[in-house]
A = this chain, B = another copy of it.
Amino acid sequence: MDLTRRHALTAAAALAATPLLRGTPAQAAAPLADKQAPSFYRYKVGDAQVNVISDGANTFPLPDGFVVNAKKDEINAALEQAFMPKDKMTINFAPLAINTGGKLVVVDTGNGAGAFASSKGNVGQFATNLMAAGLDPKAVDIVVISHFHGDHINGLLTADNQPAFPNAEVLVPAAEWKYFMDDGEMSRASGERMQGVFKNARRVFEAGLNKKVTPYEWGKDVAPGLLAVEAVGHTPGHTSFVLSSGADKVFIQSDVTNHPALFVANPGWHLMFDQDPAMAETTRRKVYDMLVADKMRVQGFHYPFPANGYVQKDGNGYRLVPAPWNPVI
């Protein structure tokens, strides 16, 4: 073993060394690929199949106040701890298509075909990755929405503002519907961003879907084996889910945390998009304490693809241990 640290560091210098390469037949060089693997992944929960369908990831300069109650240096330290570049943020998006055996159920829909034009196709991949997974939007029976932020609802519409899942019933949290469709709440919403959330929800649900949605209540199944559970704070009607089949289950957290490197590691950190930060933190700690106690698999909309794993206590916070990829279902 002559690999010393110095040796590895001089690897670049070794590039000048003569490669072997003798006897290789002359042939055209294989072209570099221009596309990533289609980013979908399947796993079983009892008799149900969860299809994680990436909508892509968006990378942008770390904005001031991204974590309301942490300094940029602290955020950069957390990013470095996760081997992510500093002064940047990457947000991942992972909607689901759950096949219960009887129903095909989409949970959240991603940023939509038209959104984030600045992302140059880095997001809005849900529809194409769903097709790559062999799942036809026309075959979707139910779409369940966790909350009304654009990255969860914009994919309800196609690029030409038609329903993306023409045969599906669209289920929305009753509390979220009541809040965002209330003109009084809209008039009291402070700031351009919150005004935008209200306007976008109305664009999608009123102009796009002509209000053809069914509000659902917490504590009830919204599809076979899919229980809606209250998880408010991020928004007034923010909902998580427990998918159960036989003895097997997974907790679908939606936006209980954003990126695990920041908010699973630091559950006391408040994301700029958490509407009621204190309540979001209370929800986060309750959920993660339960995940630890029950050793329960968790699926996170904003975890890096394939966006599921298990949770351990780690100092004052938690650590996400990604579930190993299974090359067969």
Could you tell me which A residues sit within 8 Å of B by CB distance?
Answer: 1-5, 7-9, 11-12, 14-15, 17-25, 27, 29-30, 32-42, 49, 51, 54, 56-57, 82-84, 90, 92, 99, 101-104, 121-122, 125, 133-136, 139-142, 167-169, 171, 214, 216, 218-225, 227, 229-233, 240, 242, 244, 246-247, 249, 251, 279, 282-283, 286-287, 289-290, 293-296, 304-306, 309-310, 321-329
Known: A5-B294, A83-B310. A104 touches B37 (CB 8 A): no
Q: Are the C-beta atoms of B122 and A249 separated by less than 8 Å?
A: no
Evaluate contact between B325 and A30: CB separation under 8 angstroms. no
Beyond A2-B219, A3-B229, A30-B136, 12 additional pairs, beta carbon < 8 A: A1-B286, A12-B244, A12-B249, A15-B221, A19-B220, A19-B221, A19-B224, A27-B139, A30-B141, A33-B42, A33-B133, A37-B38
Known: A22-B214, A169-B24. A220 touches B2 (CB 8 A): no
Chain B residue contacts of A304, Cβ below 8 A? 324-325
Task: Check if A324 sits within 8 Å of B92, measured CB to CB.
Answer: yes
A8 partner residues in chain B, CB cutoff 8 A: 229, 242, 249, 251, 290, 294, 296
